[in-house]
Amino acid sequence: MHTPSATDHTGAARGTTDGVAAHAATDSAPVAGARRPPFPERVAAWLNDPQDPFWERPGPTAAQQRNDVLGTAVFLVVALFSAVLMHSYAGVPETEEPWEMYVGVSALILPLAVRRRFPVGVLLVSSVLFFAFYYISIAAAFLLAYQVAYFAALYAAVAWTRNRGAMLTALSVVIGCMALWLVVELTITRAYAEIVEVQEPVDGPIPQVLAVQLYSGLVNVVYFGGAVLAGRASWRSALQRHRLAAQAERIREQSAEIARRAVVDERLRIARELHDVVAHHVSVIGIQAGAARKVLDRDPPAATAALRTVEESSRTAVGEMRQLLGVLRAEDEDARGSAPAGRRPDPGLADIPTLARRHAENGLTVAVRTVEDVPGDLARVPPGLGLSVFRCAQESLSNVIRHSTATTASLVLRTGRGPEGPWLELEVLDGGSPRSGTAGTGFGLQGLRERVRLHGGEAEIGPRSGRPGWRVRVRCPLPVDGSPEGAAAGGQRSVGGSGA
């Protein structure tokens, strides 16, 4: 059984900050010619995770907190019973009262009830009590439950602290104080020498005082180093579970995307078949109608046969079209879960502020701004182009929520005119960092580029130059006034410049 003074041998953590941990993580991969990180940074990377240094373990659930309280109560009862047994067969030193032993062991155990909710605070409080009761009640300090309680506090600090910088700082303070105390014990108070003086002399291979010091140090390296190792293993196990859950979610999203694309491919196949059916029957109808017209006067039976063929071809075409459209309608109802009561109008530029407000409800504040080269430009955008730009904005903002740490984003709609005519531009910016473990399939960005390409536009997607964050810029040409698309845009609503 060891005394508190030996805990300076932990050596499993040294103080640093989250920034140092991040630096150690980024420098963890060997690079030719790169300097080796200092020892504190290497310790920080070892305690955290080099690939994901900013991950924060979720706090304990309500059930876990209840279990902590119940477990602490049971542990306290067992510890007090062991203290009664110790008091009954070994007594307590004459310099202290029995109640001091009971208070000491209780004081060190009770903070464990909130060890997962306030791990750093519990570690600091337990360290102060651990030192104090060594002088107040040496009987409490030598109880096994007393030592186990401090072991649990140290383990919980390494395993559950979300702010790793605070955890490393607290460990550094505790280890520094223990090291200073040990120096005092060895040089001024001569505690180990006094322990040897009350024992019978032993003729061993190592001097008695040195043997006591080495034995105590070895015991505490295993004891407290084990607490740090166990806490680190628990923290990394939680990180691994988080990664597996994120991977499972990503696989689920990819599977859904693959299934959706399979449906889209099938619909394209049906559309091609529909085109072929209609083209074939219309061609037959045209040929037979022309033949009937030419022989109508001189050969009525032949004209009648030709018209009968026209009638049969038209009915066959309508029947096959209904069959193919029925397949499409059934697939759409299956995808939606039920038949739609009525087709909702396609969204457009006017729905972008509503889109921004929906994302604000999910934690992403979006500032929407419009810049028109000529007042009314956005109101004249064709519905088809407006739908595509809306989908691009939808995909861009969804990517910010899924793949970035940003909580704010800006969305700008602007129009202008160049040598090749008027254009419409969408720009979405955020200032966050990539969120670890959220790599997507790339289908969304590929679909975005395809939409823009169909309108003869261009898309620039990638990290912002010289600044953190991501940038999506889409520019499409606007049809000149008087074109069919321009005329169709008469019903397009204007976009409000409000932010969400």
For residues 222 and 175, what is the distance between their CA atoms, to the nearest angstrom? 15
Helix 300-336 to helix 208-295 angle, to the nearest 10 degrees? 160
Instruction: Find the mean pLDDT for residues 4-29.
Output: 38
What does the pLDDT read at residue 19?
40
Distance of CA 358 to the CA centre of its chain: 20
Tell me the CATH architecture of domain 253-335.
Up-down Bundle (1.20)
Q: Identify the band that residue 299 occupies on the pLDDT scale cut at 50, 70 and 90.
A: confident
Look at 31-40, 122-131, 410-419 and tell me which has the smallest mean pLDDT: 31-40
Domain boundaries, the chain: 4-249, 253-335, 349-491
Global pTM reads: 0.49
Which of residues 141 and 488 earns the better pLDDT score? 141
Q: For the residues 195-223, what does the mean pLDDT come to?
A: 72
Per-residue pLDDT at 26 = 40
Average pLDDT score over the chain: 76
Q: List, in order, residues 6 or more apart from 362 with CB less than 8 Å away.
A: 401
Range of lowest pLDDT (253-257, 267-271, 338-342): 338-342
- Do 253-335 and 349-491 fold alike per CATH? no
Q: Which amino acid is at 13?
A: A
Q: Residue 336: its pLDDT value, please? A: 53
Does the pLDDT at position 411 exceed 90? yes
Cβ(457)–Cβ(384) below 8 Å? no
Best-predicted range by mean pLDDT (328-337, 340-349, 387-396, 444-453): 387-396
- Angle at Cα 433 formed by Cα 427 and Cα 435, nearest 5°? 110
- CA distance readout (Å), 249 to 407, 434, 441, 479: 21, 17, 12, 42
Q: What average pLDDT does this structure show over 484-492? A: 38
- Give the pLDDT band (50/70/90) at residue 489: very low
Kindly tell me if the per-residue pLDDT of 88 is higher than 80. yes
Asked if 237 and 24 count as a contact pair (C-beta separation under 8 A), the reply is: no
Query: Quick one: DSSP state of residue 379?
Result: G
Buried b (16+ CB within 10 A) or exposed e, 303-323: beebbebbeebeeebeebeee
Full DSSP string of 388-402: HHHHHHHHHHHHHHH
Residue 74 pLDDT exceeds 80: yes
Is residue 155 pLDDT above 50, yes or no?
yes
Q: Is the pLDDT of residue 474 over 90?
A: yes
Neighbours of 152 (CB within 10 A): 23
The DSSP output letter for 112 is G
- Residue given tokens 């109808």 in the structure block: 285
Closest to 479 measured CA to CA, from 368, 386, 370, 414: 386
- The confidence score (pLDDT) of residue 490 equals 37
> Which H/E stretch holds residue 460?
strand 458-463
Confidence check: pLDDT of 312 > 90: no
In this predicted model, what pLDDT tens digit does every residue of 376-403 receive, in sequence order? 889 888 887 888 899 899 889 988 888 8
Task: Reduce the DSSP state of residue 248 to 3 states and report it.
Answer: helix
Query: What is the C-alpha separation between 325 and 331, in angstroms, rounded?
Result: 10
- Say how far apart CA 358 and CA 401 lie, in whole Å: 12
* Least reliable range by pLDDT among 88-92, 333-337, 381-385: 333-337
Average pLDDT rounded to a whole number, residues 253-259: 84
Q: How far is CA 416 from the centre of its chain?
A: 38
Question: What tokens were used for 340?
Answer: 């739609």
More confident residue, 249 or 315: 249
Evaluated on CA atoms 135, 139, 140, 142, the torsion sign reads positive
Q: What is the pLDDT of residues 432-465, one digit of tens each?
A: 888 776 666 566 677 788 778 878 899 999 888 8
Is the pLDDT reported for residue 415 higher than 90? yes
Q: Residue 194 — pLDDT band, cuts 50, 70, 90?
A: low
At 472, is the secondary structure helix, strand, or coil?
A: strand
On the question of pLDDT at 254 being above 90, the answer is: no
The yes/no answer on whether domain 349-491 falls in CATH 3.40.50.300 is no
Give the pLDDT score at 458. 92
Q: What is the pLDDT of residue 94?
A: 78
Cβ–Cβ under 8 Å, residues 263 and 335: yes
pLDDT of residue 28 exceeding 50: no
pLDDT of residue 499: 40
pLDDT at 341: 46
Contacts of 325 (CB under 8 A, 6+ apart): 274
Helices (H), ranges, 296-376 = 300-336, 352-361
d(CA 167, CA 18): 10
Confirm if 24 and 168 have CB atoms less than 8 A apart: no
Residue 78: band (very low, low, confident or very high) from pLDDT cuts 50, 70, 90: very high
Sheet of 421-430: strand order equals 365-371, 408-418, 421-430, 470-477, 458-463
Q: Specify the pLDDT at position 198.
A: 59
**pLDDT computed for residue 202 by the predictor:** 73
- What are the distances in angstroms from CA 132 to CA 149, 203, 230, 447? 15, 36, 26, 66
482 confidence band (pLDDT: 50, 70, 90):
very low
Taking residues 419-426, report their average pLDDT: 91
What pLDDT band is residue 118 in, cutting at 50, 70 and 90? very high
SS3 of 44-56: the string is: HHHHCCCCCCCCC
Hey, which bits of 346-406 come out as E strands? 365-371
pLDDT at 316 over 50: yes
Q: Identify the burial level of 364 via C-beta atoms within 10 angstroms of its C-beta, where 0-12 means exposed, 13-18 middle and 19 or more buried.
A: buried
